[in-house]
Chains A and B, each alone.
Chain A
Amino acid sequence: MRREDAVTLGPPGTRDYIRVEGLRVSYDRENTAIEDLDMVVGKGEFVAVLGPSGCGKSTLLHVMAGLLRPDAGRIDIGGRPAGGAANGESPRIGYVFQDHRLLPWRTVGQNLSTVLRAAEVNPEEIEERIDRYLGMLHVERFRDTWPMRLSGGQRQRVSIARALAVHPAVVLMDEPFSTLDEVTARLMRQQLAELWQESGQTIVFVTHSIREALFLADRIYILTRGPARVFDVVTVPLDRPRGYEDPRLTELEGQIVARVMEVWGYGAVDVPPDREG
């Protein structure tokens, strides 16, 4: 795929394509999910957001996608406020949820065409994009199949194809591989890394797996246990393509584990299970 296909906003290489400033989100009066969080994502950059379970990572994606309104602070994507006003005004988002969230009563192809029609893509192009993105994710043969007939990995592929097909300003991914078996997950990570390199798509990828973050991302935002603040930002010093079992990656993983122990390690059990939306 050519680079310019996915490019919708802003010149390539913009360092602060996504800008998060002083973000604060609270569930209610007592419980704060995100506290004073700053973050910058460059155009075409792959950024991982790493944090312990229940720290508010998903909440961050919710705010970026406009599903939640922050109590304070702002998020700009390509110079436009996220979750702002009407259709055309806020940036277009691709979202890969932890579960696939496909419409079970629509076929794979219809699932894509539904969101593409909502994005006001013209009919001939809809067909073309469905073929292209299902092909890119190697699920073109399931075009006329219902999602429930697919395996977990195949569903997640369709979900990724859907996210890319709308040509979003950014693709948000919320632990998309955490429910898959390890072999499938590795294959998917590998292919996601390749896909990203080909497409130049900006990706924000939430995970609790340090190794996954190191394997995929250019930079990693490490968050504290909730309320989430930025604990550290790590630039991954590895060339691509990377190996999942690369000893340098393992070494980095060890270093990060040692560093986050103090902020993640305590009270791992006293977080209410339903905090992470």
Chain B
Amino acid sequence: MEGKRSQGLDLALGGLGLATLVLLYWVGSRTTTFVPPIGDLLSQIPVFLSEEAIWPDVLATVQRVFGALAMAMVAGFLAAYVMNRGGLWGRVIDRYVNLMLGIPSTIAALLALFIFKRSEVGVYFVVAIITFPFVALTLLQGLRAADRRLDEMSHVYRFGHVAHARHVAGPHLVPYTFAALRNEYAHAWKVVVLAELFAVNTGMGARFARAFDRFLLVDAMLWLLLFMLILLGTEYLLLLPAERRILRWRASAREAAAGEAPA
């Protein structure tokens, strides 16, 4: 009934929320010595972005995130499959997934540093090992929730294994795969920074740490901003629209229109 007006108000309130953050930052920069003022930050942005030296590091981090996440997704799928089948190996994998769920990423990073020294492999190892158990559990949930009624349907109409996987099991898993991907995408970005901080000299995390160590706080802030921009930009402009498009057969429009509680 008041859809359009409401949306406008929502946007305005969201803007107000962001403005509050900026205000908080401004207060922080006024009251403490180390936080760089907003003016300095803004004036440095063009210089920072035109610096060619930043892009190899950005690219390195992007590569690590995507590579490690791909590994975690594949391994997570295999683990979920084995766990869902049960039996001794299902339970063994279940043990490992549970164990990995309890590894703090800092410890994983330090461990990787020992095992792989200061090499690229260590970063992949850390990110993959931290995100893997979450992927496995989300996909396992999907496999466990397989729709028995549709299984029956595909049995009655004599779908073969391939047709069943393609038309029933596959589409059923897609939402879960997306859920795992979306959650672990952001997670991977955050873990990669931590891993780079400890383990290597390249990448956005390492550059942030270096800027901080040399007390170039404007630079450190700009690295943080760039990081958030890339993470949120890809998440909200690529991942989410893709998910919505692929899952458009689900009637989720109602969910989106959240009502208010009774007075």
Residues of A within 8 A of B (CB): 25-29, 68-69, 71, 273-274
Which residues from chain A contact B251 at a C-beta distance below 8 Å? Answer: 273-274
Which residues from chain B contact A29 at a C-beta distance below 8 Å? Answer: 3-4
* Whole-angstrom distance between the Cβ of B3 and the nearest chain A Cβ: 5
Indicate which residue in A26, A273, A274 contacts B1 across the interface (CB closer than 8 Å): A26
Residues of B within 8 A of A (CB): 1, 3-4, 251, 253-254
Check if A27 sits within 8 Å of B1, measured CB to CB: yes
Question: Complex Cα distance A71/B2, Å?
Answer: 10
Check if B254 sits within 8 Å of A69, measured CB to CB: no
Which residues from chain B contact A71 at a C-beta distance below 8 Å? Answer: 1
Question: Complex Cα distance A71/B251, Å?
Answer: 27
Indicate which residue in B1, B4, B253 contacts A69 across the interface (CB closer than 8 Å): B1
Question: Complex Cα distance A69/B2, Å?
Answer: 11
6 cross-chain pairs, A with B, having the tightest CB-CB distances, nearest first: A28-B3, A274-B254, A26-B1, A274-B251, A71-B1, A28-B1
- Name which residue of chain B comes closest to A273, CB basis: B251
Question: Complex Cα distance A26/B1, Å?
Answer: 6
* Whole-angstrom distance between the Cβ of B253 and the nearest chain A Cβ: 7
Which residues from chain B contact A25 at a C-beta distance below 8 Å? Answer: 1
- Name which residue of chain B comes closest to A67, CB basis: B262
Question: Complex Cα distance A26/B4, Å?
Answer: 13
Which residues from chain B contact A273 at a C-beta distance below 8 Å? Answer: 251
Dominant secondary structure at the B interface? helix
Question: Complex Cα distance A92/B14, Å?
Answer: 38
- Name which residue of chain A comes closest to B254, CB basis: A274
Which residues from chain B contact A68 at a C-beta distance below 8 Å? Answer: 1
* Whole-angstrom distance between the Cβ of B24 and the nearest chain A Cβ: 37
- Name which residue of chain A comes closest to B263, CB basis: A86
Which of B1, B3, B4 has the largest number of chain A CB atoms within 10 A?
A: B1
Question: Complex Cα distance A29/B3, Å?
Answer: 9
Which residues from chain A contact B1 at a C-beta distance below 8 Å? Answer: 25-28, 68-69, 71
Which residues from chain A contact B4 at a C-beta distance below 8 Å? Answer: 28-29
* Whole-angstrom distance between the Cβ of B47 and the nearest chain A Cβ: 47
15 cross-chain CB contacts under 8 A: A25-B1, A26-B1, A27-B1, A28-B1, A28-B3, A28-B4, A29-B3, A29-B4, A68-B1, A69-B1, A71-B1, A273-B251, A274-B251, A274-B253, A274-B254
* Whole-angstrom distance between the Cβ of A8 and the nearest chain B Cβ: 22
* Whole-angstrom distance between the Cβ of A62 and the nearest chain B Cβ: 12
* Whole-angstrom distance between the Cβ of B1 and the nearest chain A Cβ: 6
* Whole-angstrom distance between the Cβ of B263 and the nearest chain A Cβ: 9
Further contacts, 12 of them, CB under 8 A, given A27-B1, A69-B1, A71-B1: A25-B1, A26-B1, A28-B1, A28-B3, A28-B4, A29-B3, A29-B4, A68-B1, A273-B251, A274-B251, A274-B253, A274-B254
Which residues from chain A contact B253 at a C-beta distance below 8 Å? Answer: 274
- Name which residue of chain A comes closest to B262, CB basis: A67
* Whole-angstrom distance between the Cβ of A71 and the nearest chain B Cβ: 7
- Name which residue of chain B comes closest to A277, CB basis: B254
* Whole-angstrom distance between the Cβ of B176 and the nearest chain A Cβ: 24
* Whole-angstrom distance between the Cβ of A87 and the nearest chain B Cβ: 10
* Whole-angstrom distance between the Cβ of A65 and the nearest chain B Cβ: 11
Which residues from chain A contact B3 at a C-beta distance below 8 Å? Answer: 28-29
- Name which residue of chain A comes closest to B4, CB basis: A29
Question: Complex Cα distance A25/B4, Å?
Answer: 16
* Whole-angstrom distance between the Cβ of A114 and the nearest chain B Cβ: 14
Question: Complex Cα distance A9/B234, Å?
Answer: 61
Which residues from chain A contact B254 at a C-beta distance below 8 Å? Answer: 274
- Name which residue of chain A comes closest to B2, CB basis: A28
Which residues from chain B contact A28 at a C-beta distance below 8 Å? Answer: 1, 3-4
Question: Complex Cα distance A262/B1, Å?
Answer: 30
- Name which residue of chain B comes closest to A68, CB basis: B1
Which residues from chain B contact A26 at a C-beta distance below 8 Å? Answer: 1
Question: Complex Cα distance A27/B257, Å?
Answer: 12
Question: Complex Cα distance A26/B3, Å?
Answer: 11
* Whole-angstrom distance between the Cβ of B258 and the nearest chain A Cβ: 15
* Whole-angstrom distance between the Cβ of B193 and the nearest chain A Cβ: 43
- Name which residue of chain A comes closest to B251, CB basis: A274
